């Protein structure tokens, strides 16, 4: 069996060792770098803040309503996103223009519920307490006997098991903050007292955890303007705190600290090493400066003070060489404390080091095993392996992320349920702020984990999980209105070549069963002469052992048959269906699998058709995506 370059979560695969002289290294499961991708082109809804988004599963589109045009009017327009473009809708009935309203999708009744908001900045008339529902065509007013007091900036989510829309908090008339819990059953609002509950707040974000059947509330603005870093969960009967405050916050300004990679070794034979050093795009601001010092075995090979732009350095390193990266970030005008560069000199006019400085080391080698850390807190490290090319041949990439500050504080998050995160199905939270807009968190019910998507930074945004395309959709602003999706990796199922046998064994992807994270990819096998039929899977179309691919199998007694991929996994079972057999591949909801190619061929026992009495199908190529 060929060595597999990436250990993934399919049960049939096991860890693969990579051996350099004197070293044995086991590749871990690693998440592919997530990326925010701008979509939608120039046809964006007008720029706004305090709008609301919700995904309409029945109609497979994201709905946007209202907001404030930032110095301009309050907005009462309705837009829908179909995965490709925004369309402005023209409902016959619509709520009045507003901002700070709450939206949630009621999957039981296939309606989007809207409550409250603000029709002006100040005064009693600014606060709204009406309820509307979107049926895909119109907003329908839903007057009720009982209802929450008028408010804006409440949190709201739909409990799919109990079939209730849950609302918490918000700002009431006169500026008072609420700690009330209300539920909407489709006909009426009812208050829901609890033995314990979050303190009064507005702008908390809420989402429903579909794995644990809990409504999750995060953060919010407390009395006096302080930002909360609490996480609470609603069981349907009571609220209870779910995670420590220290785990929820986003790193912000902290005392100056010179960051280090804390020592790592490159486990490979002599290699060409390129190190690209940069500040994280979510944090870099005009006027910031950064300094870097790179040492190999204690000897300085690079010293730089500049604006934090990427730098490339080509050096040769060997197995066991220790590579140190030391870095510091000095933000422009961030304070009066002294920032020091990588060689210890004070930076004139420097300030506190904010956020988590991220430094990436990128190594290209033809004989790569990976990075190994000899000291340090492993939670400070985010390292991975993805494909890359450097003449004269291919070489994976190793990334090192180094954090200069571990200080945590509260920051507002926008959260949504996301079946595919680097950690599996999670509540996903995105920091709502210009400087933090690429820092994401994932909540598993006990703690928050973080990852750092690359790509565009958004602020003033709202998010929703687009279930039809399995993407996190954000609408906000960069220099203007912008729409972005997290991930955006298309899936694909294609066939290559033809099978052998009479009639030829055929492998065909099934419509509606694409290789998407969290779904099941299915393919139909036809013309199998006997029930003794199985599937072989692989991850390479270049070689199998010492043989190049495709490999004719005539010499193995299978005349006219061709092996078209590496046979990494043998004997995968199939199930009988009408007209043949079916092979089904469940794909875990793990972003580490995004972009992976899985190649499969079917084999069948075929008495008297050739010497080996085995026929082989065409090849099916599955490219795993999230849409």
For residue range 496-546, list pLDDT tens digits in order.
Answer: 999 999 999 999 999 888 888 888 999 999 999 999 999 999 888 998 888
Judged on CB neighbours under 10 Å (0-12, 13-18, 19+), 382 is: buried
Token couple for 537: 């899977």
DSSP 165-230: EEEE--EEGGGPBP--EEEE-SS-EEE---SS-PPSEES-EEEEETTTTEEEEE--EETTSPBP--
For position 333, what pLDDT does the model report? 44
Q: How many CB atoms lie within 10 A of CB 586?
A: 11
- Say if residues 206 and 412 touch (Cβ distance below 8 Å): no
For residue 598, the surrounding DSSP H or E stretch is strand 597-605
Per DSSP, 362 falls in state E
Token couple for 137: 């065509």
Q: How far apart are CA 2 and CA 540, in angstroms?
A: 9
Listed as ranges, residues in the chain with pLDDT below 50 are 1-33, 245-286, 305, 307-313, 319, 331-410, 434-436
Q: How far apart are CA 354 and CA 357, in angstroms?
A: 8
For position 454, what pLDDT does the model report? 67
The tally of CA atoms less than 13 A away on the side-chain side of residue 13 is 24
Query: What CA dihedral angle connects 577, 582, 587 and 592, to 10 degrees?
Result: -170
For residue 117, the surrounding DSSP H or E stretch is strand 111-118
- Say if residues 203 and 402 touch (Cβ distance below 8 Å): no
395-410 pLDDT tens trace: 233 333 333 332 333 4
Q: How far apart are CA 192 and CA 190, in angstroms?
A: 6
Q: How far apart are CA 256 and CA 389, in angstroms?
A: 37
Burial 315-340 (b: 16+ CB within 10 A, else e): eebebebebbbbbbbbbeebeeeebb
Q: Which residues contact 466 (CB under 8 A, 6 or more apart)?
A: 55, 62, 81, 83, 472, 473, 485
- Say if residues 219 and 410 touch (Cβ distance below 8 Å): yes
- Say if residues 514 and 627 touch (Cβ distance below 8 Å): no
Q: Which residues contact 478 (CB under 8 A, 6 or more apart)?
A: 456, 457, 458, 459
| Stated pTM of the model | 0.66
């Amino acid at each position: 069996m060929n060595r597999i370059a990436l250990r993934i979560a399919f049960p049939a695969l096991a860890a693969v060792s990579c051996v350099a002289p004197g070293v044995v290294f086991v590749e871990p499961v690693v998440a592919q770098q997530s990326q925010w991708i701008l979509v939608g082109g120039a046809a964006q809804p007008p720029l706004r803040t305090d709008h609301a988004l919700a995904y309409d599963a029945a109609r497979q589109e994201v709905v946007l309503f209202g907001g404030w045009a930032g110095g301009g009017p309050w907005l009462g327009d309705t837009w829908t996103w179909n995965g490709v473009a925004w369309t402005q809708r023209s409902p016959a009935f619509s709520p009045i223009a507003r901002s700070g309203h709450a939206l949630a999708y009621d999957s039981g009744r296939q309606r989007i519920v809207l409550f409250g908001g603000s029709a002006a900045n100040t005064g009693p008339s600014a606060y709204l307490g009406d309820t509307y529902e979107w049926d895909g065509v119109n907003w329908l007013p839903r007057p009720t006997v009982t209802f929450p007091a008028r408010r804006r900036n409440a949190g709201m989510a739909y409990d799919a098991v109990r079939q209730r829309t849950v609302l918490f908090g918000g700002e009431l008339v006169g500026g008072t903050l609420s700690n009330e819990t209300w539920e909407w059953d489709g006909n009426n609002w009812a208050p829901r007292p609890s033995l314990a509950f979050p303190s009064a707040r507005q702008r908390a974000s809420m989402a429903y955890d579909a794995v644990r059947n809990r409504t999750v509330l995060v953060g919010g603005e407390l009395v006096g303007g302080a930002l909360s870093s609490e996480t609470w969960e609603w069981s349907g009967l009571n609220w209870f705190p779910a995670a420590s405050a220290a785990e929820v916050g986003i790193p912000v300004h902290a005392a100056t600290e010179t960051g280090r990679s804390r020592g790592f070794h490159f486990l490979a034979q002599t290699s060409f090493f390129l190190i690209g050093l940069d500040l994280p795009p979510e944090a870099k601001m005009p006027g910031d400066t950064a300094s870097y010092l790179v040492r190999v075995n204690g000897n300085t090979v690079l010293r730089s003070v500049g604006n934090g732009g990427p730098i490339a350095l080509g050096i040769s390193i060997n197995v066991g060489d220790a590579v140190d990266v030391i870095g510091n970030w000095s933000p422009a005008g961030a304070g009066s404390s002294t920032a020091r560069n990588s060689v210890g000199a004070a930076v004139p006019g420097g300030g506190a080091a904010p956020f988590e400085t991220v430094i990436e080391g990128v190594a290209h080698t033809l004989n790569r095993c990976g990075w190994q850390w000899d000291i340090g807190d492993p939670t400070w490290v985010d390292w991975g392996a993805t494909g890359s090319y450097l003449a004269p041949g291919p070489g994976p990439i190793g990334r090192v992320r180094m954090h200069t500050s571990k200080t945590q504080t509260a920051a507002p998050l926008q959260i949504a349920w996301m079946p595919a995160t680097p950690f599996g199905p999670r509540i996903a939270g995105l920091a709502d702020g210009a400087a933090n807009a690429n820092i994401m968190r994932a909540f598993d019910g006990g703690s928050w984990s973080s990852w750092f998507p690359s790509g565009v930074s958004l602020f003033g945004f709202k998010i929703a999980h687009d279930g039809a395309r399995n993407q996190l959709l954000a609408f906000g602003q960069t220099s203007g209105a912008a729409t972005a999706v997290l991930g955006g990796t298309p899936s694909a199922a294609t066939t290559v070549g033809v099978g052998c046998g009479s009639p030829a064994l055929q492998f065909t992807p099934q419509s509606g069963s694409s290789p998407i994270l969290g779904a099941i990819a299915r393919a139909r096998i036809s013309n199998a002469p006997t029930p003794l039929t199985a599937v072989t899977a692989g991850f390479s179309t270049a070689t199998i052992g010492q043989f190049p691919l495709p490999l004719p199998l005539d010499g193995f007694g299978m005349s006219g048959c061709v092996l078209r991929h590496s046979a990494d996994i043998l004997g995968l079972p199939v199930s009988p269906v009408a007209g043949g057999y079916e092979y089904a591949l469940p794909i875990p909801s793990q972003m580490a699998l995004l972009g992976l190619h899985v190649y499969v061929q079917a084999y069948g026992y075929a008495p008297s058709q050739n010497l080996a009495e085995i026929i082989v199908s065409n090849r099916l190529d599955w490219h795993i995506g999230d849409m």
